[in-house]
Structure 1
Amino acid sequence: MKLLIFIQLILTTYAFVPDYFSITKPGNQFQPANIIELLAINPNIRTLIRCAILCDRNIQCRTFDYDSISKQCRLFEGSIDTGILLSVSSASVVGSIKIDESLYDLYNASSDACVNNRFLVSDTLNDWCHCPIHTFWNRSICVNQRYDGEVCANDNWCRTDLNITCVSSICTGNGSSPLISSTTVTTTITKTTSTTSSSTSSSTSSSSTTTTTTSTSSSSSTTSSSSSTSSSSTTTTTTTTKTTSSSSTTSSTTKTSTSSTTTAMSTVAPPCPPQSVSNGTLLYLMNPISSIYPNYTCYAYTWTATALSATLSFFFRHDPGGWMIDDVSVYYGTTQKIINGGFEAGSLTGWNYSGHCGNNVGQAYSGSSYAKSGSWYYYDPCSGYSGSNSSGDTISQTFSTIAGGTYTISFWLTNYYCCNQTEIANITLI
């Protein structure tokens, strides 16, 4: 698959039309129909091909854009025809999967037929292949669910996760992401200006004029046979030395002015009042004293990231009975960091699973009367473990973070057929 993408991107470079990915000309950026369709922002992606591979690995991704200067790769679940292409710098391009009926030939086939399929979800519980989350079957292909005011045939055509339903053949609801609250971020900008002035002073040192005069007297000696006269001349040497030195004195004046700008950052309000937490255990329940099934309890937290990534984990063991969890969310502003948090993909798509149960392992289950919302939820009836408290099932997701950024975590949890000392729920964020 990766080789196919590579070949097709090379073909695109040479103006051939690929069968799998379509790449726009430079100077384009993708704007989705709704910001909630932004799946991920990946920094430091060195090449366009790497960005395309990231999209290919995410079953929800249908469109991406890549900036070769900033090395930023953004993934979107909306098809390119549902959004807008913006004209930007020539360093940015938009890539999209060319949706074709042949990609969905296995729709409604048995689950084992699409286990490794890029475009369909393998639902082992109900033994069939169906559309990924936030898409619906239009009898030919899986297309994106619709927003407020768009035509629909039933609720499945609409973004029910945003409380949009089909009313009189029109998707009707709030038409946007969940409840929005506003927080204020203050940015301080410091500007420093340096001014340099120079003055020149001149110092002159002069040596005195020195005159040295040397006189030698002449002597005369006379003999009878010869006469010899020796005389020396008078030499006067005058030396005048004048030294001029110049030095520059530089004065530096630094002027600092500080101004503040205030930017409003929208954040998704959690479904219940949050607690402030740090890295570690968010919730630990052992041997609950009562069962409130099928009513769920909401848990919400605010957390400040300290690294570039974090892992949210849910550990469960329960014998007999089981734990049920639904609507798991981690928001940074209005960006959802969790994939398939409501398990509406009909599988554990986006989640990493590990476990030590002898039987009855956790998985996504269908049933609107059991789910907190939608039709799917995660049910973990883990049993047959070795006996230690470390034996059980774990599902987890690792997501990118910005150090110093504030994130909102929430989920709904309930237990079924309690109460026994073997029941444990341990939720951590590290």
Structure 2
Amino acid sequence: MSSPAHAIYSSTLSLSLQGHEFQPQYGVQLIFNETARSRLLCSAACSQNPSCRIFDYDSSSHRCRLFEADLTNGAIIATASQTSIVGSMILSASLYASIYNQSCSACQENRYQTCSSTTNTCQCPGNSYWNGSMCPLQLFANATCSQIDACRSDLNLSCIINYYGEFTQCLLAITTTALVQQSCTVGSPTMLLNLYNPGAFPYTYYTYSYTPTTEQATIMVEIQDDPNAINIDDVSVVDTSSQQLLTNGGFETGSLAPWQHGTTSVGAVTAGCGYSGAYCYWDSIVGQTDNIHQTFSTVPGSIVNVSFYLWSRGAGSVIIARVCIYPN
């Protein structure tokens, strides 16, 4: 339930000098491009549209443009028309703090928050997020982000977590689906590691180069240890620009996602066994192999570096550790 259409919203604007227009960073930020009889009517149109945070108006052509943008993802630039002007909404935490998460009656005639039909409370409008004090606009691709909902989810962007469990930047989300193959010995993957009965050994570092042939690939870690366990940690796939391509490779979120189990699920993310942090992936499957896998984006022909730490916790009758990559 959103604010009623007849509500009269109140907004405070900052106006640029004449001879300027707004230049958005992305085309999707333009939400209205029509004519208006006056600058006052154009600014009123922006004020009545909760998505609008910037407008520009040309009194000669009567062009009125509304943008779901601010000066973090666009710019006020000089233009040839000396009758063009830019108006920006002035936002502050005081507009949000007393209303956020309150019952819907608190935001019934408020342009800055909207009533959620799910929670029946005042929440940030679409394409914005709560940062603890106000509702900034969600971020676009490659922007630095600091929380899970900070990126434009409508554009399939996610705030990526690195293998230290830290939020990094907004990137296209990849849906990792369960592989048909349940072993590195099935199909035609690139085999990076293939250990059979190596005995017990402490955390050991392995590193390999891999040249992708497709735009996505899936890394699989396959394990069996009768009757003990194998730990893996700090799994990393880094491209030539040092960009980490995996999410949660160090398992420091305390959960497996976005890694997926194979059809057999015995191993788990466990505390107290990490090589560099608190967590590792611990697998003690007996009698057959188990696997986890994750899909990542690649550039065909561009070499990536794959690395990880492996610990075989005890000698057994059958110890298998394989790491391979399937092209998608």
TM-score range relative to shorter protein: 0.3 to 0.5
TM-score, structure 1 as length reference: 0.35
TM-score, structure 2 as length reference: 0.46
Larger Rg: 1
* Greater strand content: 1
